[in-house]
Structure 1
Amino acid sequence: MQTRKKYIFLTFLASWLLLFFFGGDQLRRFAFFSGRKAEARRNWPHWTDRSLLKSFAVPEELQSDGDPSLPSPRERRAARLSVYKNSRCRMETCFDFSRCEKNGFKVFTYPRERDQPLSESYSKILSSIERSRYYTPNPEEACLFILSIDTLDRDHLSGQYVRNVDEKIRGFPLWNGGRNHLIFNLYSGTWPNYTEDLGFDIGQAILAKASFYTENFRPGFDISIPLFSKDHPQRGGERGWLSQDSIPPKKKYLLVFKGKRYLTGIGSGTRNALHHIHNGKDIVSLTTCKHGKDWEKHKDTRCDKDNVDYEK
């Protein structure tokens, strides 16, 4: 037994000596670089710790919804981010303040094209701007630019969806990659996914949008706006309640919401949770369950009463 161990040891030693003499350069180079890497790793800043780095894909991104015809969560996220190529835009990096220095805050709206469809809601937005004291018909004086292309509804299935927006805006001499432009959007994507794919690259433009994804919202640059219906009045009614030194302002209502209460899917959890703050006095939440063709399959015990209150 001792003799066998001795032969095994001598064989291993001979193999190692042969490898060292005939492949010594490679071994020494490997030892040298291994030492350098170990030294560098000790000197790396703490923020390169692997435990602090995000993995290439989270488990949710690798799972599908069970329906091969629908995009996976990873594909949906890629679609959302593809529109926001300038995701690091801030006012100091993507806005030219020099345009505002000479003439102050002046807004120019692009001329309407005869064959370009325009929704009632977007027409109200443009008209409101053009009637304001900030409007200028001269683009040379403008600090901010508003497209005449209706971008409010970016649902591919909508009859108000404007096609080939990318091609059109690239042909505008004032576009300048979107710098100093403001784009309005209320709806994006198509049910049931509602991705934030607007169908064109907004470039360095500011986005005023309803229902932002937090990961796409650029703080201090983009503007989160409420979703409003087409019959929303262009002008206000009675004067507001805000008076001098009235902070907080005197209001009859603190919060009001009227809309669909999605029973399943995106938004359902949020709207169900918000129901519990309704008190019928200064906080009013009116929702209807009537959404989609099969809403009755998912109706809950609150639906009948909610639908009646909504219709009042």
Structure 2
Amino acid sequence: MIIFGRFIYSIKIVIMTITTGFDKKYHNYGISQSHHRNILLAISIFAMALVVIIIAYQIFTFGNQSEDTIYVPLTLDDVSSSPIIVLNDELPIADKTNSSCSHFGCFNIYRCGMKGNRLLVYVYPPNEFLDSSKKSITSGMSREFLQILQAIITSKFYTADPREACIFIPAIDTLNQNRIKTIGVSQALRNSEFWNGGENHLIFNMVPGSFPDYNTSLDVSLGKAMIAGAGFSTITYRYGFDISIPVFSPLATDLRTRLHEKKSYLIVSAQININTAFEQDLIDIQAASPKDILILRSCSNHKSMTNSIRCVDEKMLKYPDILRSSTFCLVIRGARLGASVLMEALAARCIPVIISDSAIMPFHNVIDWKRAAIFIREVDILTTYSTLKSISSKRIEELSQHGTWLWNKYFKSIEKITKTTFEILTDRVFPQLARDYNYWNIPAASTSFPPLFLPITAPKTHGFTAVILTYDRLELLYSLINKITQVPSLSKILVIWNNKKKNPPASSRWPKLNKPLQVIRTKENILSNRFYPYDEIETEAVLSIDDDIIMLTADELEFAYEVWREFPDRIVGFPSRTHAWDNGTNCWRYESEWTNRISMVLTGAAFHHKYWSYLYTTAMPGGIKEWVDEHMNCEDIAMNFLVANITGKAPIKVTPKKKFRCPECTNTEMLSADLAHMAERTQCINRFSRIYNTMPLKSVEFRADPVLFKDVFPEKLKKFNSIGSL
């Protein structure tokens, strides 16, 4: 009816438009009325034919205009009510699972990024699929699969609009291969509206394949779909494409443990489905030390088959509670590679001992399992006792603590497992934002890693970017630029033009250089502009330098950069200052006297890592950055506080250069010439220490100089000759 109405209305509009225009011409040109009627009839027929063609096109494309479709967000209540769909038995089956699929071959990355750097996941509305004889194909949903869908729908990843989705989740329970009908599920998946051969679809499976190939890929036609499966084998796992998840254990979630719980056994084996080849090996291991090793089996005399009990001869023990009494828990290759005992061991603070050569560990691509588990080759199973006995108590404590941390962070609930799965996919889809090893494997409270999240070694990329903050002193600026370009390791010069009332000079007036130079005009005149992490800074090393520091030589700057490469987490530079406690005022005092002690290196001429610029701009505590911008002072002190607070280390002064005066400048041009300058710097020290609730600055009696710069040696033997004494 809607289309028919559009048809009639379109005809009316076209005829009225044409006839109105023709009437005007008819009167103007004096055409006879009968002739006018014939022409009008022909035009009307032509107009009707044209409108018919237009409407036919609209009818053809009506079903494909996704802009007219409104997608309602899926709710948790929708999952419990499933519309019924009857499938045709003769529906062709999709291609089998592609064993050669990779992220670059079977995944369409161009579907992602519709809403910026967000991974958006669409969940199909749930349906009840029946075959032609009206028998159910999927038999409803398990509690675990329902929890997966709930976790997605209530997460930041969910989208109700399939047009902007990157990942698609069919609402078909495929967690347990034994509960589904292979052909029926293949047909149901192929019936999915956006299936497209399985492209960008993710299928969950927690009951893995069995011997001989431990095929975790479901025996259904999945095409290009990814699998989030448990118990993957190195044979069937598609690296960089599938995601290995754990076999979830409801028993583990109810397990309660206590710190420093007494351990009665060194080793416990509690699996009831281990490979028969290892049965005799376990008996031999137990014979070596019966008191240290406990082997549990299923209770054959018990009426009902239950996972919550284990037996030793006729003695019944509650499971998995018994795992708490052991230091190590064996996870041996069984009828399936995926075993719930891994999660149960982590929940019980029992260190897993993995004896399964071909198993892919859960989330193996981001989690370093060697920090929480012991791995023993299957061929070395008889050495298990001696290997575990030799592990120190300190190492045991580390393994136990890290295993507990992994359990709480990634595996404690279906929601955590689901969230981690999509976090891994996010890193894969947006590699430029991928989290590093430390994010996935080191607790946030740990201080055992460098604050830059980098090893404290020389950076891989060579060179530095000179960031010059300037206002209007062009002659000094040009002189400084000409000097800096003589430094061999210079990669680029970035001039930060802080004068919003005056345009920077035309390109023809700048010095002719052999290194790139870019000028960035800021929106306002604030000192923090020197620490903004500009995209134009492509190096890790940044030389922050004022436009009046023209007394440094190329050798001095090159040497300072070499020192920074050895200490990339420090501020390394030339002008140094210190702080001291004043007993008279009970406050900290800013000192600029020349002493053997330093606690600050001023960023008027200093190297630092670009990471500190990012933190200064985005994570400076207590409104320090705003206070600095308002008072036009102390940005260098604020940077020293920031770095010292995170690293716990002092800055490094290089070369004996002490005088940093500007001979060409008048006192009215120099900020430091103000009589109140020193008093305000002291005020900064005390204000910042109150905000940090501590004094993070570290004092040190240390200076870095070239080895031979004071020795009487031929210049050709020295690398840095132009280093002055003051």
Q: What TM-score results when the alignment is normalised by the length of structure 1? A: 0.50
Structure possessing the higher radius of gyration over alpha carbons: 2
Q: What TM-score results when the alignment is normalised by the length of structure 2? A: 0.23
